[in-house]
Amino acid sequence: MIETEQVIRCGHCKKPIIQKSKQRPRLYCNDVCRQLDYRRRRRERTQAELLHTVKVRWGGYLPATQQLLNEIMQGHGEPLAVRVAATIASEVAADLPTKGAALEEQLKQDLEERLEELYRTDTERHHFKKWLQQHPQPNDVDFAKRFLADSRFQPYQSRSWHIARLTDRQGYTDEDRAVFVELWKDMLFEGRF
Ligand SMILES: [Zn+2]
């Protein structure tokens, strides 16, 4: 019998991953993809919360509608007012999935743009090491471990100060630098939205 070979695609970029060993299957191309996927999942939770708030707000009738329903009730009796209210409710409900999806996409883009802007304009010093210690990263991303153990990095410094020291000579790779950028963005993003 021929063993079926399962193609595993990267959890972030969806490219097929060549499995090198027979041990544990690799789920991401590299640590950058792993880190980006981790952030996406976390951000999706934030988006879901925002969306929920908006939907709840839509659920209630606007004051003008309430007033109209009141007038209908006084002029034409309660049964008609109830019917009108129910019709409006089903109209809104039918429209929600469309509006919801568009809103979700908009929120996603807005958050992404705000994050990029935040990152681009950030020149401040931050307690990055402390932040990293308090926010355990996925186990397999070993950049965080190496970085925290590296005493050459001061606890309170700017992004450019860090990047200037994450050199090949200091033992850091392109992938490490990319992971650092994503972590720094996570730190900036956190608690802002
Ligand atoms: Zn990937």
CA of 23 to the centre of ligand 1 (A): 19
Alpha helices in the chain (DSSP H): 31-59, 63-76, 78-121, 128-134, 143-149, 159-165, 174-189
CA atoms of 85 and 88, how far apart (whole Å): 5
The reported pTM is 0.61
Residues in contact with 160: Cβ distance below 8 Å, sequence separation at least 6, in sequence order: 123
CA of 130 to the centre of ligand 1 (A): 28
Identify which of 129, 189, 117, 120 has the alpha carbon closest to the alpha carbon of residue 157: 129
Residue 4 alpha carbon to ligand 1 centre in Å = 23
Distance 175 CA to ligand 1 centre (A): 12
Please tell me the distance between residue 92's alpha carbon and the centre of ligand 1 in angstroms: 40
Q: Show pLDDT as tens, one digit a residue, over the chain (193 residues).
A: 444 567 889 999 999 998 876 778 889 999 999 999 988 888 777 766 655 554 444 446 676 777 777 777 677 766 776 777 777 777 776 776 777 677 777 777 877 888 888 899 999 999 999 999 998 877 667 899 999 999 999 999 999 999 999 999 999 999 999 999 989 998 988 756 4
Cα 181 to ligand 1 centre (Å): 16
Residues 6+ away with beta carbon under 8 Å from 20: 26
| CA gap 171, 32 in Å, rounded | 17
Distance (Å, whole) CA 120 – CA 28: 27
